[in-house]
Amino acid sequence: MAGKGRGAQARHHRQVINTDSAAAAKESENVAGGSAWGLEQGVWTLRLEPGWAGTYRDDAALPSALGSGSRVRIDGATLGRWDAGVAAALWSLRERLKQRGLQVELSGLPAGLAEVLLLAQPGDTPREPSAPARPALHRALHEAGLTIAFFGEVLIALTRWLRGRVTVRGVDVLEQLDQTGPRSAPIVLLTCALVGVMLAYMGGAQLERIGAQGFLAGVVTVGMVRELAGLMTGVILAGRVGAAFAAQLATMQAGEEIDALRVLGVDPIAHLVLPRLLALLLMAPALLAFGALVGIASGALPAVLVYGVSAAEYLQQSLRALTATHLWIGLFKGMLYAALVVVAGCREGLHAGRSAQAVGQATTAAVVKALVWIVAAACVTTVAFTAMGY
């Protein structure tokens, strides 16, 4: 508050306070921007002047003589006009004084202000906002447990379906087939084509150094069929289909649709996860086959145009390299990746929170988990099959 006003207020309070001690007189000069503490008839009183709220700060000094249990009065008789800012500042001051154990009495406030402050009384909000956060390791273990349990639930539901104890609506599977297959095919094919070109280009550069360009077709064919077609299909499905599954199911979770199924006694895994799993397992071989074919075909371009391998020789080498072992390993891996995409998407969706933010979190988590799982599975299966001599 301006110095001139402060001095005037201090002088005014020296006249009204009961200055029975030097300390009290000193406190009376503790003027905090448009207000002044003073002792009036033995009660510490804060007199508020017009414009007080504009300079009020929560850390404004209080008289040191105020101890817990003291009675204080806030006098707003000269406050004049008030608005929400004044009310908020006054409420904040009152709360701060209460927290110090003081008994606060309001007097002389303008019409309406006291009633507004009366409204702002402690409500029923829990003072403890949430349970204490678990340690990171505990959370990670808990999440891993949920995921393993979810894998188990899916396997049980699949077994029940195979034994005819659970029905999956054909229309649901068809709908998911439409969503996952034809709509994913263009991007899977494009990606596999580009990977085929890269593989041939880089493989050719290395083989050319030892004059073994003739093996380029074999490298591309085995690479695409056994590893890369499945891996790229899995990655694309994780981003496109896994994210969609997570978003769909998380939205249903937020809208209590999953709860509605549970209340009816419908198993959400059988009703929502199995159609998606079956659709993707049905569609994965087709996507894999086309992806591998396109990758091998596109690999022919650098082989023929850059490394001087004839088209006929490329085709012949490709067919020679393509064995049943490579085919079933590629198919197994691709279907495994597709299953992982479904499980990651559905697990995150079904365990999502109940808000818009949770839908976003579930979608992101589904994609990240699917990618990590796919790469981990690719590594494990490659090592395992090679170790087994395949």
Whether 258 contacts 350, CB under 8 Å: yes
Positions that interact with another protein (CB under 8 A): 57-58, 83-85, 87-89, 91-92, 112-113, 115-116, 119-127, 129-130, 353-358
Whether 247 contacts 361, CB under 8 Å: no
Query: Cβ of residue 88: shortest distance to another protein, in angstroms?
Result: 4
Q: In residues, how long is the chain? A: 390
Query: Cβ of residue 370: shortest distance to another protein, in angstroms?
Result: 24
Residue 230 CA to residue 375 CA, distance in Å, equals 11
| Closer Cβ to another protein, 254 or 270, answer by number | 254
Residue 328 CA to residue 347 CA, distance in Å, equals 28
| Closer Cβ to another protein, 89 or 340, answer by number | 89
SS3 166: coil
Query: Cβ of residue 2: shortest distance to another protein, in angstroms?
Result: 19
Residue 228 CA to residue 209 CA, distance in Å, equals 24
Query: Cβ of residue 52: shortest distance to another protein, in angstroms?
Result: 13
| Closer Cβ to another protein, 50 or 308, answer by number | 50
Burial class of residue 154 (count of CB atoms within 10 Å of its CB; 0-12, 13-18, 19+): buried
Residue 271 CA to residue 264 CA, distance in Å, equals 12
In the numeric block, which tokens belong to residue 329?
Answer: 């390993």
Residue 326 CA to residue 221 CA, distance in Å, equals 9
| Closer Cβ to another protein, 42 or 59, answer by number | 59
Query: Cβ of residue 360: shortest distance to another protein, in angstroms?
Result: 8
| Closer Cβ to another protein, 277 or 350, answer by number | 350
Query: Cβ of residue 386: shortest distance to another protein, in angstroms?
Result: 46
Query: Cβ of residue 83: shortest distance to another protein, in angstroms?
Result: 7
SS3 95: helix
Residue 284 CA to residue 335 CA, distance in Å, equals 6
Whether 229 contacts 196, CB under 8 Å: no
Nearest 5°: the CA angle 296, 301, 307 is 110
| Closer Cβ to another protein, 139 or 183, answer by number | 139
Residue 341 CA to residue 370 CA, distance in Å, equals 5
| Closer Cβ to another protein, 76 or 334, answer by number | 76
